[in-house]
Amino acid sequence: MKNKIIISGLLALLLLNVFSSCEKDELKVIEYPINTFNPVPVTKTHDQTVFMHYVPWFETKESNSGTWGPHWTMANQNPDIIDANGNRQIASHFYPLIGPYHSGDKSVIEYHLLLMKYAGIDGVLIDWYGSFDVNDYKINLENSNALIEMIAKVGLKFAIVYEDRTLEPVVNSGLAGSVESAARIDMQYMQNNYFNLPTYYRIDGKPLLLVFGPDRLKSEQEWTNVFSSLNPKPVFLPLAELSSTVGNAKSGEFAWIFDGEQSKEDTWYQNIGNLEIPMGSAYPGFHDFYKEGGYGDSFFFIDHNNGVTLDNKLQQVKNANLDLVQLVTWNDYGEGTVLEPTQEFGFSFLEKIRNFNEVNSGSNQIFQNIFDLYTKRVENPNDLKFQSQLDQAFYYFVSMQTDKAIEELYK
């Protein structure tokens, strides 16, 4: 009996040494310490608060159970078809510089937000489909939350652009008794998860909330009811062309593209003095893919004109001297209002926005440097030591230590 006890003790000691050795080896593999830094704002002299409208709805086969998301495919496009230039077939007239992507991919989000930061963007307006698990709303919510998490690390603000047209499918799925009750649940989600964050944009202490419409809730009383449980009530901006439907529930309104009618747009800017809080817009053009993609007829067409359209729109919002400006959009590829770097325009739109914001931080090559950071991320995903080096470059970028970031990036 004594010998068995001794043998068991030796075996236990041997196993302990083996596990300890494995643990030490594992630590050696994954332990690459980096210096983290709090984000620092870019230095710029233009004082309008500039937001970027952002859609979080793109999915790849890897993120979407083996199927490309509908915003890359519409009804008839197949991204598995690759042309002679290596480009996938997507539902857009424009092609992202990094190719079609998953909106929840942290490397993609890092790339997008760093580009925005160095272009002088103050905040991101997230096109938000609500909190219910209907259609693709859940994965859009997950992508939005991944974006919001990175926004804090980069040092930007954010606010929500609520899509109230999503409420009817929620009711039809039996998840809420009415569109109004569904909206109240979404508002409670925002209050519990977003409005209390230090990165959420506020005006006079109240959270900013936009609605892309309204489309389903079309009365002052309905919106008053929806906001009844919120404290404080948000600063509420509906779409300019539809704001009359919400009456005194609104705090102002935001401009968009006015269906391509320049006269409507000019009239809106002439009358902004009648609004408590007007938010202007600037965009590069409009060239939707709906007809080609099998999604009905095209809406209208506004020529990008090699960047002249964006120049004119930026000048318009500058002349209007508005406090708030929304850039339309970062990545709505279906409608062709894309400010994200594309093969067609490169970084030129970001350069224009950077000049508009009068940004003094970063070199002339800063957007290329950020693109290189993304490229290195995706080319070496399993090299933990190298990824740690890129993490260090990221923290240098967000803290405006750009020389150190570039040195780390190109070691």
Tokens 């409608």, located at residue? 335
Task: Give residue 244's pLDDT band: very low, low, confident or very high (50, 70, 90).
Answer: very high
Give kind and range of the element (H or E) at residue 45. none
Phi, psi for 327 (deg, rounded to 5): -90, 130
Q: How far apart are CA 244 and CA 177, in angstroms?
A: 26
- Judging by DSSP bridges, how do beta strands 252-254 and 277-282 pair with one another? parallel
Give kind and range of the element (H or E) at residue 209. strand 206-211
Among the residue ranges 27-31, 61-65, 198-202, 368-372, the one predicted with the least confidence is 27-31
Q: How far apart are CA 73 and CA 341, in angstroms?
A: 20
Q: Could you tell me the two tokens for 339? A: 């400010």
Q: Could you tell me the two tokens for 263? A: 């006269």
Instruction: Enumerate helices (H) and strands (E) in the chain, giving the number of each.
Output: 13, 11
Give the distance, in angstroms, between the CA of residue 217 and the centroid of all CA atoms in the same chain.
25
Where do the DSSP E strands lie in 212-266?
235-238, 252-254
Task: Give residue 31's pLDDT band: very low, low, confident or very high (50, 70, 90).
Answer: low
Q: How many other CB atoms are there within 10 angstroms of residue 98's CB atom?
A: 18
Residue 147 carries which DSSP code? H
Q: What is the pTM of this model?
A: 0.92
Give kind and range of the element (H or E) at residue 406. helix 402-409
Q: How far apart are CA 37 and CA 91, in angstroms?
A: 39
Check residues 245 and 14 and name the one with the higher pLDDT. 245
Answer whether residue 6 shows pLDDT above 50: no
Task: Give residue 1's pLDDT band: very low, low, confident or very high (50, 70, 90).
Answer: very low
Q: Could you tell me the two tokens for 386? A: 């190298």
Answer whether residue 24 shows pLDDT above 50: no
Q: Which of 120, 99, 112, 115 is nearest to 51 (CA)?
A: 120
The domains found in the chain, sorted by start residue, are 49-379 (3.20.20.80)
Determine the average pLDDT of the residues in 55-82. 98
CB 349 within 8 A of CB 311: no
Task: Give residue 26's pLDDT band: very low, low, confident or very high (50, 70, 90).
Answer: very low
**Residues 38-42: contacts with CB under 8 Å, at least 24 apart:** 38/155, 38/399, 39/153, 39/154, 39/155, 39/398, 39/399, 40/155, 40/398, 40/399, 40/400, 41/155, 41/400, 42/117, 42/118, 42/120, 42/359, 42/360, 42/361, 42/362, 42/400
Task: Give residue 30's pLDDT band: very low, low, confident or very high (50, 70, 90).
Answer: low
pLDDT digit string (tens) for 114-140? Answer: 999 999 999 999 999 999 999 999 999
> What one-letter code names the amino acid at 308?
V
pLDDT digit string (tens) for 203-221? Answer: 999 999 999 999 999 999 9
For residue 11, the model assigns a pLDDT of 41
Q: Could you tell me the two tokens for 224? A: 């008053």
Answer whether residue 16 shows pLDDT above 50: no
What does the mean pLDDT of the chain come to? 93
Q: Which of 400, 394, 362 is nearest to 41 (CA)?
A: 400
Q: Could you tell me the two tokens for 292? A: 């080609």
pLDDT digit string (tens) for 84-112? Answer: 999 999 999 999 999 999 999 999 999 99
